[in-house]
Structure 1
Amino acid sequence: MSITELLSVAILLSLLMLYLLRQFWFRSHYPSGWLPLPATGSLWQAGVRLYQETLSKQLKEQNGTSNTSMTPYGSIFNDNGGELLKQQKEIGQLILSKHEREKKGVESLVEQEAPRLVETFARVNGQPFDPLNAIIASLSKMVWTVSFGDRSPLEDKDSQQLTDAIESAVKSGGSFVYVLHKQFSWLMKYFPGPQKNALSSKELVLSFTKKAMQKHKEAKPVKEPQDFIDFYLSHMEKNKGGQNSTYNEENLAECIFNFLLSAAESTAITLQWALLLMASHPDVQDKVHKEIEKVLGSSNAVGHRDWKKLPYTSAVIHEIQRTKHAFLFRIIKQCAKDVNIFGFLAPKGTFINPDLNSILLDPKLWEAPEKFNPSHFLDKDGEFVAKKEFQLLAGESEGSLEDKLARVESFTFFINLLKTFVFKLPEGENKTSKQPRIGLTTCPHSYKICAVPHHKKS
């Protein structure tokens, strides 16, 4: 080894030693736990087990944090992520307000798509299949319609490519390897891994998005904004020439991509778990079937408005989301100044990401936290009971367009599918893994399932 190489190794070891000494020096001010890594901090530990409600209260009282959000595709790991999310939320609120004024909310859009998803499942004729592609196709179609209205350039071939790209991003984008790529893109580009699929999928979605944007701009101007693009382009025009304006076409494309992923991902994961758990718990599935049949009968118009009529089914959906929540954490707060949390110093710039398991699997809050038990959301009379602890799953995205879509989609798709099919694991696959693929999201491992029509269930 040459003198230069020896000197380089010595410098690197010295820097590492200084970093470790600095970390050990500050350890006395931090909660107990593993040593944080450079750049990514303690993210690899997937959160600090702190009670969320108490934590949020302390942070608000000290006015020491600013809100951000976590998605595997940008957000806090993007220098402009916070501004993109702010733009995305603002436009989403305008779309929700428009739907409310016209008295045709996102519920109608979801109710139109749900029968199409049922038809897709029916075409498989009860044979084993992976339901993810069909689910994402329906979810992305709705988000695409909200974004581009009737002026989408997608044809059947493009639509399938878009669905495949989003599916790939959902499967791989939530990995910690992808986060490392966002932080160390100059190094990680030389390594194979799931980040390659996620990034290529993103480029394809952005390409479709820009084509749709161009068609929007070429179309005859509308008197009132109709969709995401209309509202965004209107904001671009209003802020044109503004010194600090961040409304531009590149950010618009990024917003659409984030919207597509954030709106489709959580629902896709929830429905994947829902079908797997129904097939694994036939007694629960049978109760859901009986309640739907008793309350809704042969009605074809089934939607989110029916949730109060179906207390057991509502409890089942909530229990699915409790035991198999889509994200390891939903809220990330960044300290805007030095903050004292439970006697520990959180320096300015620190990201606080409470672990959802600290609440959703807390034995003090749930009778049998490790078990799938819909009774957690039922009272002694069998009526649905909302739990304030569960509401923390929504975090501070409550009221956003993505959150609204996710709630309506999860319930509407679930009852339409359970109204039509009995879900079973393929013969010989009774031990399909219920353990999630851990990343920033908690997807199930790929699996196949049989959707057997009710009249053929025997």
Structure 2
Amino acid sequence: MEFSATVILAGLISALVWLLTVKTSKKPRLPPGPFAFPLVGNLPQIDKKRPFQSFVEFSKTHGPVMTLYLGWQRVVVLVGYDAVKEALVDQADEFVGRGQFPFLYKATQGYGIGISNGERWQQLRRFTLTTLRDFGMGRKGMEEWIQEESQHLRARIRSFKGEAFDPTFLLSRTVSNVICCLVFGQRFTYEDKEFLNLLNIINTVLKFNSTPWGMLYNIFPWLMEHLPGYQHKVFAHVKEVRRFIKRKIHEHKETLDPSSPRDFIDCFLIRCDQEKDNPKSEFQRENLIATGINLFLAGTETTSSTIRYAVSVLIKHPDIQEKMQQEIDTVIGRDRCPMMEDRKSLPFTDAVIHEVQRYLDIVPFSLPHCALKDISFRGYTIPKDTLVIPFLHSVLKEEKQWATPESFNPQHFLDQNGNFKKNPAFLPFSAGKRSCVGESLARMELFLFMVSLLQGFTFSCPGGPDSINLAAEYSSFANLPRRYDIIATPR
């Protein structure tokens, strides 16, 4: 306890020195923002259960580019489509930096594609995009994998024989098997206990980062490391994922055929050997482990949560579910596997899936960016090392971009003739050079899995439509949908 008290006291003294230094130095012209308290910044003014709502309220007073302090970390928040696009797309090179995300940094030990900057990030992103495309991301090969997995999913749902069940981990297993085929070259059976344990860990990690306790860790990591709490158990779970990926890498090394790579790990190992004499190469073991964690986590929970949320939406709005099924029956029927080329003939279905993503708003704050140097933006100066948050919630729920932003409304993506229409403010995967590397895969999964499910089943729940609450159960880093037992009635 004495050691912890000493650490806390030293931190407080350091913070006071920092504040005095800031006040006595020449300040750049920062964007405006609310009054910040010493040490804790604007944290007392932020709703711990719905932090995104506090950011919306701040922007009503301080505008689309504002400065907040999370603890003593200065953060510039970009609010609304125009500000986000101007930064991430029009000034992409200046806003390409990735900001610190302490939980992810510790989980990956600073390696991998998710948290890195500079040459490491450039090499790993370029390689990851190329390799995933080579193995079919957004192409025919991946489409066939998803079609096969959808049949396993439908068979498992039929086994419940119309009884209520919790779809959470069933959908996680289904979606995760797709990324597992890409990264590990294999799918796992739904009965695999190790696989289910890993998926439970992924769910725990995302849930932790979407609670006030997780938010505190990401703001005060040095303090939380020395305090007791659930964060230590979560990191122990992360180590299990690391051990699993290390074992898979070892198995791949033992059976590697450089002339015939089977998956992402094989391709990375081959590149490691090709560049073993290059001192500037980022193709080394720690980056492979960390990128494997990045792909495994990101490729599992966000997409499966979105599908689960979509099912809740259809239960809440049975008229929408019925209209989607009528369209699917007319275009595809109930027996043929859906294909991506069907999407253009299913405008209403496509619109509903897009609206699910917009309305769920699964990562409202995106991952933080960082000013790698002083940036001039809209007449302000964003100093080097400032965190930058592209506030995606404000884009997906902006009144001037959407007719009814706070309502679930598929008409947001349909024109007067019922044809699908794009909206440039649809940015659930962020934008620019740091946009999600798995965007095309996620889009394909959402469409093929949802159409396949609606071909085979009509969804309801024991409590009826009125029992469904579409507000997030947890909200911070991610908006996580509530869990419901559902009933899948075969059609």
Say whether the fold is shared (TM-score over 0.5). yes
1:72–1:179 CA contact under 8 A, matched in 2: no
User: Which residue, 387, 403, 417 being the options, matches 2:439?
Assistant: 403
Identify which range, 258-267 or 95-104, moves more after superposition.
95-104
2:363–2:428 CA contact under 8 A, matched in 1: no
Matched residues in 2 for 1:123 and 1:190: separation?
48
* Higher helix proportion (structure 1 or 2): 1
Partner of 1:74: 104
2:217–2:224 CA contact under 8 A, matched in 1: yes
Residue 199 of structure 1 aligns with an amino acid whose one-letter code is: F
1:439 aligns with 2:476: yes
Matched residues in 1 for 2:9 and 2:222: separation?
21
Identity %: 28
User: Which residue, 72, 77, 85 being the options, matches 1:48?
Assistant: 77
1:176–1:440 CA contact under 8 A, matched in 2: no
Structure 1: state its 5+ residue gaps. Answer: none
1:32 aligns with 2:25: no
Identify which range, 162-171 or 317-326, moves more after superposition.
162-171
Identify which range, 397-406 or 215-224, moves more after superposition.
397-406
Partner of 1:65: 95
Identify which range, 60-69 or 131-140, moves more after superposition.
60-69
Residue 468 of structure 2 aligns with an amino acid whose one-letter code is: T
Deviation at 1:168, TM superposition (A): 2.4
2:399–2:405 CA contact under 8 A, matched in 1: yes
2:150–2:449 CA contact under 8 A, matched in 1: yes
Partner of 1:263: 299
Matched residues in 1 for 2:249 and 2:11: separation?
50
Matched residues in 2 for 1:270 and 1:10: separation?
43
Kindly provide the CA deviation profile for residues 17-72 of structure 1, in whole angstroms up to 9, marking residues without a partner as x: 86278369859733223528679974589972523444443574595333438988
Kindly provide the CA deviation profile for residues 225-255 of structure 1, in whole angstroms up to 9, marking residues without a partner as x: 2311111112211221332333222221111
Matched residues in 2 for 1:186 and 1:70: separation?
13
Partner of 1:334: 370
Matched residues in 2 for 1:363 and 1:341: separation?
24
Residue 347 of structure 1 aligns with an amino acid whose one-letter code is: P
Structure 2: state its 5+ residue gaps. Answer: 44-67
SS in 2 for 1:124: coil
Matched residues in 1 for 2:475 and 2:75: separation?
9
Shift in CA distance, 241/409, structure 1 to aligned 2, threshold 3 Å:
same
1:159 aligns with 2:160: no
Shift in CA distance, 52/69, structure 1 to aligned 2, threshold 3 Å:
farther
Shift in CA distance, 73/104, structure 1 to aligned 2, threshold 3 Å:
farther
Pairwise mapping of residues 38-437 of structure 1 onto structure 2 (< 5 A)? 42=69, 48-57=77-86, 60-61=90-91, 64-68=94-98, 74=104, 79-80=110-111, 81-82=115-116, 86=122, 88-99=124-135, 104-150=140-186, 156-175=192-211, 177-178=213-214, 180-181=216-217, 184-185=220-221, 187-189=223-225, 191=227, 193=229, 195-330=231-366, 332-391=368-427, 393-396=429-432, 401-427=437-463, 430-436=466-472, 437=474
Matched residues in 2 for 1:30 and 1:406: separation?
35
SS in 2 for 1:65: coil
1:377–1:384 CA contact under 8 A, matched in 2: yes
SS in 2 for 1:423: strand
Shift in CA distance, 155/109, structure 1 to aligned 2, threshold 3 Å:
same
Matched residues in 2 for 1:153 and 1:211: separation?
18
1:449 aligns with 2:486: yes
Shift in CA distance, 321/193, structure 1 to aligned 2, threshold 3 Å:
farther
How many pairs does the alignment contain? 449
Deviation at 1:346, TM superposition (A): 0.8
SS in 1 for 2:488: strand
1:151–1:215 CA contact under 8 A, matched in 2: no
Residue 32 of structure 1 aligns with an amino acid whose one-letter code is: G
1:360–1:389 CA contact under 8 A, matched in 2: yes
Shift in CA distance, 46/68, structure 1 to aligned 2, threshold 3 Å:
closer
Residue 295 of structure 1 aligns with an amino acid whose one-letter code is: V
CA-based RMSD of the aligned residues comes to: 3.7
SS in 1 for 2:426: helix
Residue 453 of structure 1 aligns with an amino acid whose one-letter code is: P
